[in-house]
Amino acid sequence: MRTPTLSTVLSIGLAIGLSATFVASTSLGQSTSTEETGDDGTIPFALPQSGPFTPAEIGIENNQAITDWFRSSHANAAAEAFSHWDDEGEIQASCATCHSGEGFRDFHGLDGTEAGVIDGTINVGGVVDCGTCHNAGLAEVREVTFPSGVVHPVQGVEASCLTCHQGRSAGVDVVNAIADLDVDTPDPSLRFINPHYATAAATWLGGYGAAGYHLPDREYSGRFFHARPVASCNSCHEPHTLEIEFEPCLTCHQADSPQDIRIARQSYDGSGNTSVGIKSDIDANAAMLLSMIEDYTDEVVGIPVIYDGARYPYFFADANNDGVVDTSDGRPVAYADWTPRSLRSAFNWKLVTADPGNYAHNPHYALELLYDSIEDLSGPLAIDMDDLNLLR
Ligand code: HEC
Ligand code: HEC
Ligand code: HEC
Ligand code: HEC
Ligand code: HEC
């Protein structure tokens, strides 16, 4: 049984409901105690000690939060992101922080255990539950460490989003893998390095967060500060539906949808078209980069790569160049002829495209990573960057 039953959800909801009815004026993350009434007489959002509760005790807004959350992907227990470990019976420690509320609380020490490690057994069946974000202990989490090693200060509920949406590897992992290797010679030690999924927070911190592979001697845009009051994840995402609240965007932008928003007056993708959203430029340059990675593996390395977004590890071999992924014992053959240059380009391409919101999270950084990797490949492919007419 993967899907949480309505009664499970309602009992969580009821529990939160009780505290929520007392808490109208308390903002999240500022509370410091789960059980005690605060100095100002409010009770923070948190699970109370006991139930059951009568329907009259469920706050109306709480009902709405439950409904919204229940329909969101955070609550989708059947999703691969939550059911992947079902056959093993418990979630591996290295995965549990982000794939279950219970794991998240264990990692941050919100369950009373040591912070910074998963020290308990994390059960399967968990989702991003209410207590992941509505947890008074979260206020004590003051910084989050990214895969690049960057330690970023956080406040309140932001700690939750930044913990789980930071990805699992960064440019530094690519640097370490390719160090001392000849840049255009395939090396059997190299395997595709996957940044992981929904890496919004990593994109958002830009060059300062160092999620991407940075070419030497380049400057990268830092965190995308946008404009006040757009300051954090929940400025744009309703925290329960996770959807974008588009109307507030129209205070500053004129567009029909987030995808259509554009501030930039120049074209980055060589099309000259500035009547489309900045997303269009990013998508075009990403498509160009992928096709250059394919050309490079074909023309320079001699073993073409095929990308298949539906199958891990996404990049497969086509040694006989028939346009179809090679198989061995009926299984697709993972690409194994990476050179430092193709590996670092593929990493940047995947990092940018692993974040469907890249254009809103940090369009500048996304465009820079794509431009630099395109330029990196242009040399061996004998392409003149001037002919492409791109902007960085
Ligand atoms: C830093 C947080 C984090 C860690 C650690 C983490 N993941 Fe994930 N993972 C995510 C997020 C966020 C998603 C959601 C992507 C989406 O579907 O939108 C995800 C998605 C997935 C998916 C679904 C991919 C898909 O195509 O739908 C799988 C499978 C997965 N992770 C496996 C793992 C494994 C295995 C580990 C441990 C070895 C792990 N993850 C560790 C954050 C993490
Ligand atoms: C991913 C994080 C997250 C999860 C999971 C989450 N919430 Fe929230 N919730 C928030 C944030 C952030 C706010 C503050 C919204 C604001 O200030 O506008 C909030 C606000 C609320 C509010 C105040 C009214 C409102 O909608 O703004 C209630 C009630 C609430 N949450 C209940 C719940 C319940 C019940 C659950 C589980 C079914 C839940 N939340 C799950 C992040 C979360
Ligand atoms: C415990 C880890 C965790 C926390 C905390 C967390 N997320 Fe997620 N988030 C995930 C996973 C895992 C998925 C993918 C779920 C799935 O595939 O069903 C996801 C999915 C999403 C999505 C994609 C929705 C969609 O329709 O595909 C958005 C947007 C999102 N999260 C935003 C946030 C924001 C904003 C916060 C902070 C308020 C947050 N998340 C906190 C793990 C987390
Ligand atoms: C300026 C507004 C804005 C901010 C701030 C913002 N996002 Fe987004 N986010 C978007 C937009 C727009 C999309 C793309 C939605 C689409 O195209 O459907 C998106 C997409 C996402 C997705 C992928 C959803 C999917 O469909 O798979 C995730 C996950 C996500 N954001 C998480 C975050 C997190 C975590 C933060 C904070 C670090 C954050 N966002 C900050 C606007 C924003
Ligand atoms: C308070 C005003 C304000 C609000 C509200 C606002 N934005 Fe912005 N937005 C800006 C400014 C200013 C920039 C340019 C920032 C920069 O490039 O440094 C920008 C840039 C962008 C860009 C990049 C455009 C480009 O051409 O580089 C996107 C995409 C975007 N905003 C999406 C959104 C979305 C989605 C929302 C609503 C969820 C939103 N914005 C709300 C002011 C705002």
User: Residues 281-317: pLDDT tens digits?
Assistant: 999 999 999 999 999 999 999 999 999 999 999 999 9
As beta bridge partners, residue 143 has 153
pLDDT grade for 62, boundaries at 50, 70 and 90: confident
Q: Name all residues whose Cβ lies below 6 A of ligand 1.
A: 80-81, 84, 92, 94-95, 97-99, 164-166, 168, 196-198
Contact at 8 Å (CB) between 381 and 292?
Answer: yes
- Identify the H or E element spanning 353: helix 340-353
Tell me how far apart the alpha carbons of residues 143 and 287 are, in angstroms, rounded to a whole number.
35
Domain ranges of the chain: 6-141, 185-302+337-388
Assign residue 302 a region (left: φ > 0; alpha: ψ between -120 and 50; beta: otherwise): left
* pLDDT at residue 60 in the model: 66
* pLDDT at residue 47 in the model: 37
* pLDDT at residue 63 in the model: 84
Task: Tally Cβ neighbours within 10 Å of residue 6.
Answer: 11
- As given in the structure block, the two tokens for residue 294 are 């394919």
Q: Which residues contact 4 (CB under 8 A, 6 or more apart)?
A: 75, 77, 125, 127
Higher pLDDT, 192 or 26: 192
User: Is the pLDDT confidence value at 54 over 90?
Assistant: no
Ligand nearest to the CA of 357: 4
* pLDDT at residue 29 in the model: 35
* pLDDT at residue 208 in the model: 97
* pLDDT at residue 58 in the model: 57
Nearest one of 259, 235, 261 to 248, comparing CA atoms: 235
User: Is the pLDDT confidence value at 36 over 90?
Assistant: no
User: Is the pLDDT confidence value at 59 over 80?
Assistant: no
CA 20 to chain centre: 29
Model confidence over 113-153: pLDDT tens digits?
A: 999 999 989 999 999 999 999 998 999 999 999 999 999 99
Q: Ligand 4 pocket, 200 CB below 6 A?
A: yes
Nearest protein Cα to ligand 1, atom 28 = 81
* pLDDT at residue 9 in the model: 42
Higher pLDDT, 119 or 7: 119
pTM score: 0.91
Residue with tokens 């009815």: 21
Rounded distance from Cα 38 to ligand 5 centre (Å):
37
Higher pLDDT, 216 or 54: 216
Mean pLDDT of 177-192: 97
Model confidence over 87-115: pLDDT tens digits?
A: 999 999 999 999 999 999 999 999 999 99
Tell me how far apart the alpha carbons of residues 270 and 362 are, in angstroms, rounded to a whole number.
20
Rounded distance from Cα 239 to ligand 2 centre (Å):
6
Mean pLDDT of 148-172: 96
* pLDDT at residue 61 in the model: 73
User: Is the pLDDT confidence value at 197 over 50?
Assistant: yes
Mean pLDDT of 233-262: 95
Which segments of 191-277 does DSSP mark as H helices, in order?
A: 200-209, 233-236
Contact at 8 Å (CB) between 158 and 27?
Answer: no
Contact at 8 Å (CB) between 366 and 212?
Answer: no
Candidate from 226, 247, 283 with most ligand 5 atoms within 8 A of CB, to mutate: 226
Mean pLDDT of 227-233: 90
Rounded distance from Cα 361 to ligand 5 centre (Å):
9
Contact at 8 Å (CB) between 244 and 237?
Answer: yes
Ligand nearest to the CA of 17: 2
Contact at 8 Å (CB) between 202 and 146?
Answer: yes
* pLDDT at residue 5 in the model: 41
Burial (CB < 10 A; 0-12, 13-18, 19+), residue 215, is middle
Higher pLDDT, 157 or 50: 157
User: Is the pLDDT confidence value at 19 over 80?
Assistant: no
Model confidence over 320-378: pLDDT tens digits?
A: 999 999 999 999 999 999 999 999 999 999 999 999 999 999 999 999 999 999 999 99
Listing DSSP states for 44-97 in one string gives: -SS--S-----GGGS-HHHHHHHHHHHTSGGG-TTSHHHHTTTTTSEE-HHHHH
Give the mean pLDDT of the chain. 88
Higher pLDDT, 27 or 340: 340
